[in-house]
């Protein structure tokens, strides 16, 4: 008898429907799975066999063939255990194959027949909704699946509970929805940072325009503190952004307790992180740090310490907002529109320019250190500032400063000023503007243009450097709700361009 059910395969966070067919025919006892499955799927046979054994069933002593269709899509992961077991129960005549045909099924089986959590539940249940199919998933992930709005979700604890449901012996209760996190994780607040007014101002500009930012300064000057507080002054996530980010985290197996990701991600990978960990892919295709930072902040501390290969791999995502990773015989794409905040010491010892603490090789060591970051990467970082060291006794004298709530209000005002502009062009922030679009939105006053041209001559600005300045000036003008970029906006933009690197 032929019995079939459905599951999904993932390509990035996109979902491909997979039909799982089982045929039991006369012949020597065997159990084979075909259809480009990976090692985990091959091992699935043992888990299925054992789970059936646990509920008192043994595999028929016949020729069992499992086919995962379409046969040309690579399938990875342990979530095919449950659909294979279900289809097998249909083929063995334990269940009516019609009863579970119209479901997307996901779950890993334990040897005792328990159903274990797997990654990718959220996008799979959203897809089930689109296919107008029901959804079967592990019990503890029922609440995650519920976010898709699908109203036919079964979340059994174990295989026996699922069989009883389909036999009508004991109907499974609907999964419980979880409340959105009652205590929102409190974000770090800008008021913790004393002084550093110009760095804070630069951070605010970065939040308004979505600009990437590089902070250069000696150890202990507060760079990490500043970066960690950026999410607190970024606009709250829109509903569709929450779903998009949560899907990525679901595929990475990082959604906790059925909660969606409701706050802007902040990811700070260590500089030892491998390139696959950073951009995604590797043996088991998973989203990397830059995709987990999608719509949030990617903080790279000690930028020059990252391997050159890793940094170069960031260039494409910085430009396109997505990353494409090579697989054995295909490419998969993950979203990766993140805001890059990088920090570095000016030199290896960290104290270039700090009186009395500079090492004997200064300034040569600084040149070497800074040259580890390639020009094309720096070109993608609109705002580059120096963060000076504040002496401890001065820190003690500084009164409390503005909190994140006040700054966020200003950021939101500037964002709403930008709203009309982005309604008819395909970008969402000034940082994304380039070429024709940048010219279209810039609206440089003649005086501001003169300021820029004069500076370009003086500072040997490259074409790209020129555009960076216009983008930042555009954001500064937005913060004053000014349609035109005026000279003082341009002056300020020019100040966010670190000067020690010659020739841009």
Ligand X SMILES: Nc1ncnc2c1ncn2[C@@H]1O[C@H](COP(=O)(O)OP(=O)(O)O)[C@@H](O)[C@H]1O
Residues of this chain, 207-226, that bind Mg ion according to CB under 5 A = 224
Rounded to an integer, what distance in angstroms lies between the CA atom of residue 202 and that of residue 498?
Answer: 12
Cβ-closest position to ligand X: 222
Site of tokens 């979880």: 178
Query: Segment contacting ligand X (CB under 6 A): 7-15, 134-142, 192-200, 355-363?
Result: 192-200
The tokens for 405 are: 């709530």
Q: Name which of Mg ion, ligand X, none residue 221 binds, using a CB cut-off of 5 to 8 Å depending on partner kind.
A: ligand X
Find the shortest distance in angstroms from Cβ 301 to ligand X: 7
What is the C-alpha to C-alpha distance for residues 12 and 279, in angstroms, rounded to an integer?
12
- Closer by beta carbon to Mg ion, 224 or else 316: 224
Scan residues 322-381 and list those touching ligand X (CB under 6 A): 343
What tokens does 124 get?
A: 């799979």
Element (H, E) at 471: helix 463-479
- Nearer Cβ to Mg ion (164/224): 224
- 412 is a contact residue toward ligand X (CB under 6 A): no
| Distance in Å, CB of 215 to Mg ion, minimum | 9
Show the tokens assigned to 179.
């409340």
Q: How far is the CB of 224 from ligand X (least distance, A)?
A: 3
3-state SS assignment for residue 54: helix
C-alpha pair distances (Å), 316 with each of 106, 175, 220: 34, 41, 32
Four-residue CA torsion sign, 459, 465, 470, 475: negative
| Residue 188 binding result from Mg ion, ligand X, none, given CB thresholds of 5 to 8 Å by partner type | none
Residue 259 binds: one of Mg ion, ligand X, none (C-beta under 5 to 8 A by kind):
none
Q: How far is the CB of 388 from ligand X (least distance, A)?
A: 10
Beta carbons of 341 and 213 less than 8 angstroms apart: yes
Q: Do 84 and 42 touch, CB atoms closer than 8 A?
A: no
At 358 the three-state DSSP class reads coil
* Binding status of residue 97 toward ligand X by CB under 6 A: no
- Pick the closer one to ligand X by CB: 73 or 359: 359
User: What is the x/- site pattern for ligand X, positions 428-447, by CB under 6 A?
Assistant: --------------------
CB of 298 to Mg ion, least distance (A): 15
Answer for which of 390, 427, 438, 456 binds ligand X (CB under 6 A) is 390
Closest by CA to 427, choosing from 474, 383, 469, is: 474
One residue of 82, 193, 323, 431 binding ligand X per CB under 6 A:
193
Nearer to ligand X, 193 or 493 (CB): 193
| Shortest distance, position 432 Cβ to ligand X, whole Å | 28
Token pair for 460 = 């040997």
Stated as kind and residue range, the H or E segment containing 136 is strand 134-136
Choose the contact partner of 196 out of Mg ion, ligand X, none; CB within 5 to 8 A by kind.
ligand X
Burial class, 431, CB count within 10 angstroms (exposed 0-12 / middle 13-18 / buried 19+) = buried
Q: Do residues 206 and 478 lie in contact, with contact meaning Cβ atoms separated by under 8 Å? A: no
**Are 209 and 472 a contacting pair, CB within 8 Å?**
yes
Q: Which is nearer to ligand X, 344 or 452 (CB)?
A: 344
Q: Which is nearer to ligand X, 277 or 389 (CB)?
A: 389
Nearest Cα to Cα of residue 115 among 106, 107, 126? 107
Structure tokens at 457: 């001559």
* Residue 189 interacts with which of Mg ion, ligand X, none, CB < 5 to 8 Å by class: none
Given a contact cutoff of 8 angstroms between Cβ atoms, the answer to whether 124 and 16 are in contact is no
CB of 246 to ligand X, least distance (A): 30
C-alpha torsion sign, points 362, 365, 366, 368 = positive
Query: Minimal CA–CA distance to 413: which of 473, 488, 482?
Result: 482
Q: How far is the CB of 343 from Mg ion (least distance, A)?
A: 6
Q: Are 330 and 74 in contact (CB under 8 A)?
A: yes
Q: How far apart are CA 253 and CA 247, in angstroms?
A: 10
**Nearest residue (CB) to ligand X, 193 versus 297:** 193
DSSP code at position 191: G
Q: Which two tokens stand for residue 194?
A: 């004393």
194-233: which residues touch ligand X (CB under 6 A)? 194-196, 217, 219-225
Q: Does 189 bind ligand X (CB under 6 A)?
A: no
Size of the site for ligand X (CB under 6 A): 15
Contact 295, 246 (CB under 8 A): no
50 near Mg ion (CB under 5 A): no
Q: Which is nearer to Mg ion, 285 or 385 (by Cβ)?
A: 385
Q: Which is nearer to Mg ion, 198 or 224 (CB)?
A: 224
- Residue 475 CB, shortest distance to ligand X, in Å, is 24
Site for Mg ion in 223-252 (CB under 5 A): 224
Q: How far is the CB of 379 from ligand X (least distance, A)?
A: 24
Task: Using CA atoms of 319, 320, 324, 330 in order, give the dihedral in degrees to the nearest 10.
Answer: -130
Pick the closest to residue 34 from 49, 10, 18 (CA basis). 18
CB of 347 to Mg ion, least distance (A): 15
Matching residue, tokens 């939040």: 207
Which of ligand X, Mg ion, none sits in contact with 222, Cβ below 5 to 8 A by type? ligand X
Q: How far is the CB of 224 from Mg ion (least distance, A)?
A: 3
Residues that bind Mg ion (CB under 5 A): 224
Residues that bind ligand X (CB under 6 A): 193-196, 217, 219-225, 343, 390, 395
């Amino acid at each position: 008898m032929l019995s079939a059910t459905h599951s999904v395969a993932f390509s990035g966070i996109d979902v491909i429907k997979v039909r799982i067919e089982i045929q039991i025919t006369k012949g020597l006892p065997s159990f084979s799975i075909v259809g480009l499955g990976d090692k985990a799927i091959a091992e699935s046979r043992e888990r299925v066999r054992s789970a059936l054994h646990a509920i008192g069933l043994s595999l028929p002593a016949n020729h069992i063939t499992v086919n995962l269709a379409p046969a040309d899509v690579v399938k990875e992961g342990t979530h095919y255990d449950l659909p294979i077991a279900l289809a097998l129960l249909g083929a063995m005549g334990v269940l009516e194959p019609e009863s579970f045909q119209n479901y997307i099924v996901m779950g890993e089986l334990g040897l005792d027949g328990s159903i274990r959590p797997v990654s990718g539940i959220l996008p799979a249940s959203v897809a089930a909704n689109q296919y107008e199919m029901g959804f079967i998933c592990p019990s503890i992930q029922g609440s995650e699946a519920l976010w898709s709005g699908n109203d036919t979700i079964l979340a059994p604890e174990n295989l026996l509970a699922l069989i009883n449901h389909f036999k009508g012996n004991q109907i499974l209760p609907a999964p419980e929805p979880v409340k959105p996190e009652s205590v929102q994780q409190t974000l770090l607040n800008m008021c913790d940072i004393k002084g550093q007014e110009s760095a804070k101002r630069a951070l605010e500009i970065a939040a308004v325009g979505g600009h990437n930012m590089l902070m250069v300064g000696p150890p202990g000057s507060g760079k990490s503190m500043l970066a960690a507080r950026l999410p607190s002054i970024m606009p709250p996530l829109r509903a569709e952004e929450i779903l998009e980010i949560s899907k990525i985290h679901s595929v990475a197996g990082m959604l906790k307790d059925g909660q969606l990701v409701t706050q802007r991600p902040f990811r700070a990978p260590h500089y030892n992180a491998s390139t696959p960990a950073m951009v995604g892919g590797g043996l088991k295709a998973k989203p990397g740090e830059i995709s987990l930072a999608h719509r949030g902040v990617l903080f790279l501390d000690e930028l020059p310490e990252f391997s050159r290969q890793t940094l170069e791999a960031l260039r494409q995502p910085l430009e396109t907002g997505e990353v494409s990773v090579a697989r054995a015989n295909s490419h998969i794409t993950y979203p990766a529109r993140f805001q890059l905040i990088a920090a570095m010491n000016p030199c290896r010892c960290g104290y270039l320019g700090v009186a009395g603490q500079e090492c004997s090789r200064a300034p040569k060591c600084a040149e070497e250190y800074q040259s580890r970051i390639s020009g094309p990467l720096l070109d993608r970082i609109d705002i580059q500032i120096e963060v000076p060291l504040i002496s401890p006794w001065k820190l003690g004298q500084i009164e409390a400063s503005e909190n994140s709530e006040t700054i966020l209000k200003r950021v939101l005002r500037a964002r709403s000023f930008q709203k009309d502009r982005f309604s008819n062009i395909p970008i969402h922030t000034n940082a994304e503007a380039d070429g024709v679009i940048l010219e279209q939105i810039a609206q440089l006053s003649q005086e501001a243009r003169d300021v820029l041209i004069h500076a370009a001559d003086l500072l040997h600005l490259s074409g790209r450097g020129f555009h960076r300045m216009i983008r930042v000036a555009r954001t500064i003008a937005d913060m004053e709700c000014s349609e035109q970029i005026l000279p003082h906006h341009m002056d300020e933009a020019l100040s966010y361009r670190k000067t020690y690197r010659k020739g841009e």
